[in-house]
Structure 1
Amino acid sequence: MGAARVPRRVIAYVRAGAALCDLGVTPVAVYGSGHDGDVLDPAKEGGLRAAAVTYLGPGRGLDEALLRELRPDVIVDVTYDGKSPYALDEAVVERLGVPLVALSVGNELTLPEILDRFGELAVSLGAAADAGTAGADAGTAALDAGAGVPETRAGVPGAGAGAEGDPGGRESVSRAGLRAAEDALRKAADRSALTVLALSGAGPDQVHLARPLAWPELAHLAELGVRLVDPGPGPGANWLTGDWGRAAELRPDLVLFDSRAHATAPDEVLAGVRSTPWNPETPPSPAAYARFFHELAEALTA
C-alpha cells in the first residue's frame, strides 16, 4: 500500500543530500560520516550550503532528540555493501520509526545505474513537479513499506519512475550536460597520453591507491578512454595501502587526489607530479559528475 503523501521532510547523508539537492529535492538537514567533523566538508557540500541546508555533524553521533524535533518523513543514506547504511546507525532509525532508503553506490552497479537510481528517488520525493504520478506513487509505496531498513529491503523506485518523471525538466537539462561533459572528456582522453593515478593521502607516511575497477566512477573514466593506473597486487578491495614511495614508483603523469578535508594533499609529499582534485564521494547527480568530468578534461589537456 502506498504512502498517503509524498515524503517532503528529508534528512540525508551528505553525499546523498547533495545529490538530491542537485536533482530538485532540498533536504531539511544532512549528516556526515565517520571521516567528518562538526563542520560541513567543503569538498562534499555541493549546493547544500547555498541552499542553507543544516549540517548535523557525523551520523554515528547524532542526537536522537534533535532528529525527532526535525520530524523527518524519510532518511536517505548510501550503502557500499548492499546491506547496511554507510553513515548512520540503523538502530537509531528503527527507534525513530522513520523509513530509511540506502541506495547502493558500490561497484556492483555502473555509474549510469547509480545516477538513474538517485534520479528515480528524487522523482519519488517530489522532484520534477510536472512529472506523471505513477513513478512518484511507486516510490512512496516503497518508502512506506520499508521503514528502518536499507535498500535491499526498503526498495527503490522502479525504472518507470525515471522514464515517466522526466519530461524535459531539470533532470533532462542536467543529463544533457552530463553527456556533453562525457564527450569533452572522451575527446580530451583521446588527445592525451597522460596516465592517471587516483589516490587518497593518509598522512606523510601512508597513501591509499585506488583500484580503478572497484570504483564505478573510475571504471566509467576508463570507459571514456582515461588511462588509469592500477596499483597492482596486494591486499585491499578498493584501495592498495602503501607509502608515498609506492605511488611515485607507478610514475603517473597526473594524480587524481582525494580532496576531502581528512585527506592529505599529494603536493605535500609527492613532489613534481601534476594533480587535480577528486572527491571519492561525488554526489550521485548528473550535474556533479559533469563538473568533475569537465575539470578532468581540462587537466588532461592543460
Structure 2
Amino acid sequence: MPEQSAWSFADDRGRLVAADSRPSRVLAYVQAGATLWDYGIRTEGVFGSGHDGAEPDRAKTGSLPLDVVDYRGAGDGLDVDTLLRGGPDLVVAVSYGHGQLYGLDPDTAKHLEEHVPVVVIDVGQARTLDRVAARFAELAHSLGGAPVPGAAGELHAARERLRAAARATSPGPGVLALSPASQEQAYAARPRMWPELRVLAELGVGLVSPPEGAGVNWATVDWAAAAAMRPGIVLADTRSNALPLHEITAPAWRAAGARARIVPWNPEPLCSPQGHARFLALVADAVEGAAAG
C-alpha cells in the first residue's frame, strides 16, 4: 500500500476514526492484537479483560511474541496511564454489542479516547464469524497489513475437510462446547450464540445444545447434567479463567469424559484465516478420529 498523508477507518460503532498519518504503534485487546499480528501488523502492546491476570493468557495470544509485545495487564490494573505506556497512536478494541469496549472500565475507555484514536470491532453474537474476520481484514489492510500467502487456501481446505468428515460420519458424534467453572459446575455453550460454533453447524457438525433456561450464551449445569448430554467430542475452554477439564473429578463426568475426544477451544477466537483454519483442523481431527474408533 502506498504511503498516505492521512488515515481513517469506519469502525463498528459507526464512527470514522481518523489520524494525520497511518498509525504504526498499535495497542489492542489481546484477541484483536493476535488477529492483526497474523496480517503482519506488529502490535506494540496488548491488554486483557477482567477474566485475565497479571500475565497474558496463552490461550488467547496466538502467534504473538510475548517477549516483544508489551502486555499492559487486565482488569483493575488497567488505567489510562498504563494503557498509554509506550505511546500508542491507535487502540484496537472489541465489543460484544452496543459499542462498549470489552475489558475496559467505561470511564477508562472514555478518557483513553481523549488521548488516542480508538477503533472498535464488534465480535458479538449478532455477527457471523466471516463478517468479523472481514472487518479485521479491512482494518489490517488500512494499516498496511496483508494476509499470509496461502492462508485463504488453507482455510478453504480446512472447511472442506471438516465438511467431508461430518458428511462421512453423519449423524456423527455430538459436539459439546464447555467452560469448566468448578468441581461442581460447568458452563455449557448455547451453540447458536457463538459465531465459530455456528460455522461448525453450517459445515454439518452435530452440536449438542444444553437445556433451555437461564443464561443467554451459557447454561450453568452440574457435571452429571453435562455427562447426560453424552458428547462424543468436547470443545474445552482453555482460557486461564476456566478450570482444566482433566482436573474435574465428578464421577459421572469422569466416565463420560473418558469416552469423549477433547478439543481445546478458545471462545475468543483469532479471526485470521490461519487462526480459523487451525481450529477447524482440530475439530476435523476429532471427527475423523471418532469415526475411526
Q: AA paired with 1:286? A: P
Given the alignment of the two structures, is residue 281 of structure 1 paired with residue 268 of structure 2, yes or no?
yes
Aligned counterpart, 1:91: 107
Q: Distance in 2 between matches of 1:257 and 1:230?
A: 15
Q: Offset at 1:225?
A: 0.7
8 A contact 2:53–2:75 mirrored in 1: no
Alignment map for 1:96-245 (pairs within 5 Å): 96=112, 97-128=115-146, 170-171=147-148, 173-192=150-169, 193-245=172-224
Q: Find the counterpart in structure 2 of residue 29 from structure 1.
A: 45
CA distance in 2, matches of 1:91, 1:99: 16
| 2:220 aligned counterpart, secondary structure | strand
How many residue pairs get aligned? The number is 261
When normalised by structure 1's length, the TM-score is 0.82
Quote the residue 1:56 is aligned against. 72
**CA distance, structure 2, for counterparts of residue 252 and residue 102 of structure 1:** 36
Q: 2:242 maps to what in 1? A: 263
Aligned-pair CA distance for 1:189? 1.3
Q: Could you say which residue in structure 2 is the equivalent of 1:158? A: none
Identity of aligned residues (%): 45
> Is there any run of 5+ residues in structure 2 with no aligned partner, and where?
1-7, 9-17
Check whether the contact 1:31–1:59 (CA below 8 A) recurs between aligned residues.
no
Distance 1:51 1:217 in 2: 29
Over aligned residues, Cα RMSD in angstroms? 1.7
Amino acid at match of 2:269: T
Runs of 4+ in 1 over 4 A off after TM superposition: none
1:74-120, Cα deviation, whole Å (9 max, x unpaired): 11111112320111234334334211112111121111111000000
User: Kindly tell me: are residues 273 and 101 of structure 1, through their superposed partners in 2, closer, same or farther at Cα, counting changes over 3 Å?
Assistant: farther
- Residue 125 (structure 1) shift: 1.5
Cα 1:172–1:213 change in 2 (3 A) is: farther
For structure 1, which segment, 86-95 or 270-279, has the greater mean C-alpha deviation from structure 2 after superposition? 86-95
Residue 45 (structure 1) shift: 1.4
| 2:199 aligned partner, one-letter code | H
- Note the alpha carbon deviations across 1:117-150, whole angstroms, 9 max, x for none: 000011112213xxxxxxxxxxxxxxxxxxxxxx
State the SS of the aligned residue for 2:183.
coil
Q: 1:8 aligns with which of 21, 24, 35?
A: 24
Larger helix share, 1 or 2: 1
Question: How far is 1:292 from its partner?
Answer: 0.6
Post-superposition Cα deviations, 1:33-61, rounded to whole Å, max 9, x if no partner, equal 11111111111111112672111111542
Distance 2:152 2:124 in 1: 21
Aligned partner (choices 214, 232, 253) of residue 253 of structure 1: 232
Q: State the Cα distance separating 1:71 from its structure 2 match.
A: 1.1
Give TM-score scaled by structure 2 length: 0.84
**For structure 1, which runs of at least 5 residues remain unmatched after alignment?**
129-169
Return the offset for 1:63.
Answer: 4.2
Shift of 1:300: 1.1
Amino acid in the other structure paired with 1:102 = V
Counterpart of 1:57 in 2: which secondary structure?
A: coil
Partner of 1:153: none
183-192 vs 248-257, which deviates more? 183-192
**Equivalent in the alignment of 1:45:** 61
Contact 1:77–1:88, Cα closer than 8 Å, also in 2:
no
**1:174 aligned partner, one-letter code:** A
